[in-house]
Amino acid sequence: MDKIETMRAFVAVAQENSFTGAGRRLGLSTKLVSKYVQQLESRLQTQLFNRTTRSVSLTDVGAAYLERCRPILEQMDELDSLVRERQGALAGPIRLTAPTGFGSTRLTQALIPFLHEHRKVELDMKLTDNRVALIEEGLDLAIRIGALRDSTLIARKLSNMPLIVCASPDYLGTHGRPQDPRALSTHACLVDNNQVELNVWRFHADGQEHVIRLNGAVQANSPGALTQMAIGGLGIARCPLYAAEAALEDGSLERVLPGYTTDVFGVYALYPPNRHLTRRVRALIDHLAQELQRPRS
């Protein structure tokens, strides 16, 4: 049995905490993944996982082995990539994570021409509104919006993402249209709890900053969810432009306080500092920087 394949199976099980999940990740049957791990344990003469009918977890030896497995497999992947890339065409896997709403709209639209052009690139995109640990999950790249918290990761800014304050016509008709940021204290505000300053919105006009502290009764970690709640008339939301753009165009949302600007977030590509950035990943980052800055038609 190929030693590298048994190590890949072991790492996949550790990342997924599941033999079934590892099989899906690798495109193998659960039975074959289990067989690979058993052969690895037999060769090492040690138990790498604690197994019950409901869970799989690493033993202490397994955790130590995992720490040493990852860089070996990454080096093997880099060697394979080097050979393929020297042959000309971009090829091989790119494992990427991104926020659900942005990933399923603007990011997907930006990815389509890249994947059409580079047919041998294999994209594995994991969409989640939770922060994902790149190294532990075996990912090459994360796309994130807003303030960056991962100081250990290398970040490249791809574009700006304006924040839009908006509400439905029905809400504004019932509760009135605020003319000054201070008036937001009397309104129902829908708060994105991903933000560092949870109940603070900042506005700018005529060289002055207005810091507004909110009493947000409704919170969510998804800009898409906040947008839908605003459309449903629950209150005033502050959303990234990509989340509210279609609703603003069809009139189901309207801008609030258009005479004021609020924060502008950055869209960033993040990747681990100790990992060789393959040519295909570099090419994708360059493509996204160009595509996401392109004006929308």
Q: Which helix (H) or strand (E) holds 169?
A: helix 169-175
Question: Tokens for 295?
Answer: 């004006």
Whether 94 contacts 284, CB under 8 Å? yes
At 98, give phi and psi (nearest 5°).
-160, 160
Task: Please give the Cα distance from 151 to 192 (Å, whole number).
Answer: 22
pLDDT at residue 295 above 80? no
Q: What proportion of the chain, given as a percentage, has pLDDT over 70?
A: 94
What mean pLDDT value characterizes the chain? Answer: 88
**70-74 average pLDDT score:** 81
**265-277 average pLDDT score:** 83
State in words which class domain 86-160+266-292 has: alpha beta
Q: Which of 74, 67, 64, 66 is nearest to 140 (CA)?
A: 74
In the structure, what pLDDT confidence band is assigned to residue 150 with cuts at 50, 70 and 90? Answer: low
Q: Which helix (H) or strand (E) holds 73?
A: helix 60-86
Q: Rounded to two decimals, what is the model's pTM?
A: 0.69
Is CATH 3.40.190.290 the classification given to domain 161-263? yes
Q: How far is CA 181 from CA 205, 251, 254, 294, in A?
A: 10, 22, 16, 31
Q: Are strands 141-145 and 92-98 parallel, antiparallel or unpaired?
A: parallel
Collapsing DSSP to helix, strand or coil, 206 comes out as coil
Higher per-residue pLDDT: 65 or 132: 65
Specify the amino acid at residue 280: R
Whether 249 contacts 238, CB under 8 Å? no
State in words which class domain 3-71 has: mainly alpha
Whether the domain at 86-160+266-292 and the domain at 161-263 fall into the same CATH topology: yes
Task: Please give the Cα distance from 263 to 161 (Å, whole number).
Answer: 9
- CA-CA-CA-CA torsion for 91, 94, 100, 103, nearest 10 degrees? -40
Q: What proportion of the chain, given as a percentage, has pLDDT over 90?
A: 49
The domain segmentation of the chain, as residue ranges, is 3-71, 86-160+266-292, 161-263
Task: Please give the Cα distance from 293 to 278 (Å, whole number).
Answer: 23
In the structure, what pLDDT confidence band is assigned to residue 269 with cuts at 50, 70 and 90? Answer: very high
